[in-house]
Amino acid sequence: INDLRVEFQKYDDILNTLTQGVQTLSNDINRLSTESLSLTSLIQAKYEELNQLKKIRLESDNRIAAIGPIQESLQQELSNVKENIESTEFTTHDGMKTWKVDNISEKMAAAQSERQNSVYSQPFYSSPAGYKMRARLYLNGDGNARRTHMSLFFALMKGEYDSILKWPFNHK
C-alpha cells in the first residue's frame, strides 16, 4: 500500500504539473488573443490612417495640378503687362528711336542657328498723331546679306491715327 501511495503521489504531482502547464498555456492563449485583437485594431487604425493620407495626397496633387494652368495664365498676363509698360515707356512720338537690344549674344546665337531670325523694336510714332512704326533687325542678315551682315528694316504698323494721315507714306 505504501508503494501505491508513493505511486499515487507521483501521479498526483505529474497531474498537478500538467494542470499548471495547461493553466499557463490557457493564460498565454488569453494574453496572445488579447494582444492579437489589440494589434488587429491597431492595424485597422493604421490602414484607415493610410487611406486618409492617400486621399489627402490625391487632393493636394489635384490642387497642385489646378494651380499650374492658373500660374501659367498669371505669368502670361504679367508678361503682357510688362510688355505694355515697356511699350508705353519706350514709345516716342518724334520719329526718332533709340533701341537697345537686350541679350544680344543669345539672340545672335538664335539667329545663326535659325531658331529666331529677327527681333522687333517697340513701336514708335513719327509725330504725336503720326504714323506708327517699328524696326525689325535680322541679326544674321536677310536675303543677299544672310550670314554676312545685319539687316535692319523699317515697318509701318496699323495705328490709331491712320484715318487722318496721308497715304501712301512718303516720308524719308
Domain boundaries, the chain: 1-89, 92-164
Alpha carbon distances (Å) from 140 to 50, 124, 168: 60, 24, 30
- Taking a C-beta distance cutoff of 8 angstroms, is the pair 135, 99 a contact? yes
Q: Can you list the pairs that 150-158 forms with residues at least 24 positions away whose Cβ atoms lie under 8 Å?
A: 155/120, 156/131, 156/132, 157/123, 157/132, 157/133, 158/132
* 8 Å CB contact between 87 and 122: yes
Say what the pLDDT of residue 169 is: 86
**Tens-level pLDDT at each residue, the chain (172 residues):** 788 889 999 999 999 999 999 999 999 999 999 999 999 999 999 999 999 999 999 999 999 999 989 998 999 999 889 877 776 666 777 878 888 898 999 999 999 998 888 999 888 889 989 999 999 999 999 999 999 999 999 999 999 999 999 988 887 7
State how beta strands 151-157 and 132-138 pair: antiparallel
Instruction: Report if pTM > 0.85.
Output: no
Distance CA 125, CA 133 (A): 6
> What CATH code would you report for 92-164?
2.60.210.10
- pLDDT at position 89 is 66
- If you search the block for the grid coordinates 543669345, which residue do you land on? 106
d(CA 135, CA 97): 9
